[in-house]
Amino acid sequence: MDNLTVQQLQAAQLTAKDCPAVEIASKLGISTKTLQRWSKKPAFQDFLSEVRSQARVKTADQLTDELSLSLEQLAQEHLEAHRKVRRLAEKAIAALETRDPNEINMRELGVWSQVLARHIEGERTASSLQYLDLNKAIALVTQAGYEVSESITDDNLLYSHKNEL
């Protein structure tokens, strides 16, 4: 980018933002022909490619972050929904157990048992999604130069910088 002037760098930045050539020329006080000539320079093209590449990376990172957050929220909602139904099934089974054994409808007990099993499995699935998110977070913290270790006294994670150890 050493070959480009400040004005040419500004033109490249505006071009990367998809500003119309007429608008760029007007803002910089140049003609559109000058802008066309500048845009043919290899240094201009290289700078433009670099700016666009950085924008794509930022966009991809933002989308990944948004997707992770959405998946985390979905997993939490999934977990809560299964917990609610599991609690209802447990209460229904407990109510059936208080009846005289001869009055218990085995079909009803079977249905509630299936519901309970299905929703316990649903909780496990949702919990495993949260576990995967936790592993991703640990990987990111580790890449940043920190060490992650489990606390013996509680379930919280303690972070310490490797240089401080």
pLDDT in tens, the chain (165 residues): 458 889 998 998 899 888 999 999 999 999 999 999 999 999 999 988 888 888 777 777 777 777 777 777 777 787 788 788 888 888 888 888 888 888 878 888 888 888 888 888 877 777 766 566 666 767 766 777 777 666 444 444 444 444 444
At 149, phi and psi to the nearest 5? -135, 150
Task: Give the domain extent around 97.
Answer: 53-164
**Beta-carbon contacts of residue 12 (< 8 Å; ≥ 6 apart):** 4, 38, 39, 44, 47, 48, 51
The count of structural domains within the chain is 2
Say if residue 45 is in the same domain as residue 65: no
**Do 87 and 28 sit in the same domain of this protein?**
no
In-domain check, residue 1: no
